[in-house]
Chain A
Amino acid sequence: MTMRSMNVVLAIAMLALVPGAASAEPPLVLRVAGDGQGVRLGFDGTLRPSWHTDRDAMQTSIPRAGLEPTGAGIQIGATQALGESETPSLLSASLRGRFDGDHNRGWLGIGALTAGSESWHGAKWNLGAGWQPRVRAIDLEFAAFATPVSVPGGTYWREVHPTGGPDSLLVSELESAPGHDVVWTSGQTTLRLRRGRAEIAALGGVTVGPYTAPRTWAQARARCQLSARWALSLIAGKASPVALAFDPHSAPRTQLGVEFAPLLKSAPVAGTGLRATARRFSAASLGDGRVAIHVECHDARTLEVRGDLTEWEPVAMQRITGAWWELVVAAEPGVHSIQLRIDRGAWAAPPGLLVSTSETQGPTGTLLIQ
């Protein structure tokens, strides 16, 4: 593959309102990918403000049903064509609200997109929504995007119902139209399986709208985390163009890519470079000799706690609402050691706790109950 035939996508993801604590996005990622239609450079980044349902977690009467807002994130992205390319340079920004429930997870987003193309005038707003039912072993997501598309002036075939009703005869007629914007809507389903440092995904979708025949696509993706900062990705098939996708990571064509995350200190397990990470830990006395332990952790399937409070037996936490997990244990006053394990990974000190370690003991959180 020559350099000219390479399509290079350079993506930079910036995170940081909660340094090192975000659950899903790495602090900085560069992506380089090549396909057969020119050269592209770009970046995208994510800001993930750390607001959450703290109120709920600190109360003992925690709501246990329904979707609740658990966070918001801002994503900024850009791609720049190098050499000849059919795809214009793009700059996008989007704001997503995130909701978590016992059995479902979802997001709503609004974004703005502009391009360095003569046919593109100003910024265009788009809307997106996603729904992720919790399914064991796989990630499943249904998403929909509404995106304005500029239609240049000209003559188009248009489908009409001459008698006005939806069941009437459908005919096509030529229509002359000036340059204007219409809205195209895309639906997309993604299946993703993660094992260790590897991830495979399959996605399919359709785009419908005025002045276009329905466009369908399907794509298979494989990604392998090579080290803490490097990952290799292979994408086969076609997907929605970046301008129609709500995700600036969208890869419209078959491509081979490399990702670099310079600010990551430890290797993500898998996924879009991501692993579930506990963001917050809290503990509150229930006044009856028990303590309620709460942990905020997005994207986790299981959370377990062990320590002297559990006689070092792993005890599963229960998801109570959104990204919050709970465990109520008997606890006597004193200094206690505690560890947390996410998705049966390595045991570690819970976030925010003081840490101790010794010759025979790994990093362990220190909890003082007075």
Chain B
Amino acid sequence: MSRFARGLMTLILVGALGPPGRASGDSANDEARLKARLDPETARAVIELVHSAAESGLPTSPLKGRAFEGASRGADGALIRRAVAQELEALKDARAALGAASDPNELVAGAMALLSGAPHDTLVRLRASRPRQSLVVPLVVLSDLIARDVPVAAASSTVITATRAGARDADLLKLREHVEREVGKGVAPAGATGTGLRMLLKDQGKDAPRPAPSVGRAP
């Protein structure tokens, strides 16, 4: 089994786990666990944010997850409240960029990309390039590239270009694996992303984008 196949299998698990849900577990139990893990003030603030997300039709699991993460790390209550509030804002921003009909998983992945540093406009353009297909994989690949020190602009343009070219999720994962491998060899992240995109476009039967000619250059 190739590393790519393993990576794909690792990322995407297809199982009979039921339909996607927006919130995990029972609400009362969730609140009890939050109160058990957080100081009273932080728990109250987090629960309010969770209620706010639920009323807005946003996934609540990322908010609770962020609160539990902060508690596990022993973070200060103020920091936890700020992180959960940022998560909620990112979810709202992701829905504004991706559309109200977006799948909850897309919103979670979109919020993840935004918190990684991706611009709002990138999500808008990604949705335009895939109006009906899921954007979960393009968004998590975008977050991955940014986390691997690919400049945000290069990561954004790469994922957008690949998606517009009709790249499938598997192609994007292959691109991301190429970047990981090349960066591991010491290649600059931006360069690795560029070669990965050219390979992807070549496989798609499209010409790689060429650098724009410099101003004043003779034709």
Contacts and interface: CB of A to CB of B under 8 A. Distances in A.
B13 to A, nearest CB: 5
Contact of B17 (A311, A332, A337): A332
Nearest to A350: B10
Interface string B107-123: 01100110110000000
Interface of B: 1, 3, 6-7, 9-21, 24, 33, 37, 59, 61-62, 64-66, 68-73, 75, 79, 82-83, 86, 104-105, 108-109, 112-113, 115-116, 136-137, 140-141, 143-144, 146-148, 176, 181, 184-185
Contacts, number: 147
A291 B13 contact: yes
A77 to B, nearest CB: 25
A370 B12 contact: yes
Interface of A: 19-20, 54, 280-287, 289, 291, 306-308, 311-314, 331-335, 337, 352-361, 363, 366-370
B112 A335 contact: yes
**Considering residues B18, B109, B140, which has the most beta carbons from chain A within 10 angstroms of its beta carbon?**
B140
Q: How would you classify the secondary structure of chain B's contact residues: helix, strand, loop or mixed?
A: helix
Contact of B24 (A19, A332, A337): A332
Nearest to A332: B24
A369 B17 contact: yes
A333 B64 CA distance: 16
**Considering residues A283, A287, A366, which has the most beta carbons from chain B within 10 angstroms of its beta carbon?**
A366
14 contacts: A280-B6, A283-B10, A286-B15, A308-B65, A308-B68, A312-B68, A312-B69, A312-B71, A312-B72, A313-B72, A333-B19, A353-B10, A353-B11, A369-B17
Contact of A335 (B18, B37, B109, B148): B109
- CB-based closest 9 A-B pairs: A285-B15, A308-B65, A312-B72, A358-B115, A356-B143, A354-B144, A312-B68, A312-B69, A355-B147
A59 to B, nearest CB: 14
B88 to A, nearest CB: 14
Contact of B10 (A287, A306, A312, A352): A352
B75 to A, nearest CB: 8
A261 B104 CA distance: 47
Contacts of A352: 3, 6-7, 10
Contact of B11 (A19, A306, A331, A368): A368
Contacts of A311: 33, 37, 64-65, 68, 72
Contacts of B184: 19-20
Nearest to A306: B72
Contacts of A332: 17-18, 21, 24, 61
A210 to B, nearest CB: 50
Contacts of A313: 68, 72
B136 to A, nearest CB: 6
B11 A334 contact: no
A356 B116 contact: yes
B105 A335 contact: yes
Contacts of A19: 181, 184-185
B14 A370 contact: yes
Contact of A334 (B6, B12, B72, B105): B105
B69 A358 contact: no
